[in-house]
Structure formats: C-alpha cells, structure tokens
Amino acid sequence: MAWPSYKEHASQGGSASARRALLGLPQRTVLPELRAVPVTDLPGVGPRIAASLKDLNVTSLADLVSHYPQSGAAAGC
C-alpha cells in the first residue's frame, strides 16, 4: 500500500504544514481540539483501517497520539 503524496501541497511551506493544512488544523493544536478530528480525516485511513483502530478504542486524533499498546501482542512482539 502506498502512502499519499503531499507534493502538490509542498508549495505551502513544507510537508508538516501541508499535512496540517490538509486536515484544516491551526498552526498549534492542543489535545482537546484533536478529540474533534476523526482518524478518517487522515489521508490513507479509510473504513477498514478506521474499523481496526476502533477495536483499539482509537476514534480521534487525540486517541491516536495518546494510545499505548497494552501487551506485547498488541505491539507486534
């Protein structure tokens, strides 16, 4: 599976700011603001990946950045 390309948005000031612009987030975002952004807003996250993340109780970007695996099996060990 190939990751989405941000080349068309590179002229906006780099890849980090291009991704931020794609998600419609302000320059600085705090964790409570990320709770309102679903993981499906990320490029490449469709219904299948969203369903897998929901099994891990990850439904928002805040859940995603604060998720830590609970066991070795969840970490891929």
Angstrom distance (rounded) from CA 50 to CA 53: 5
What percent of the chain is predicted at pLDDT more than 90?
A: 35
Average model confidence (pLDDT) for the chain?
77
Question: What confidence tier does 61 reach under pLDDT thresholds 50, 70, 90?
Answer: very high
CB 31 within 8 A of CB 25: no
Q: What is the pLDDT of residues 8-44, one digit of tens each?
A: 444 444 577 777 777 777 677 788 888 999 999 999 9
Give the closest residue to 25 by CA, choosing from 56, 5, 16.
16
Angstrom distance (rounded) from CA 30 to CA 37: 12
At 68 the pLDDT is: 86
Domain ranges of the chain: 12-65
Q: Is 20 helix (H, G, I), strand (E, B) or coil?
A: helix
Whole-structure pTM over 0.85, yes or no?
Answer: no
CB 23 within 8 A of CB 37: yes
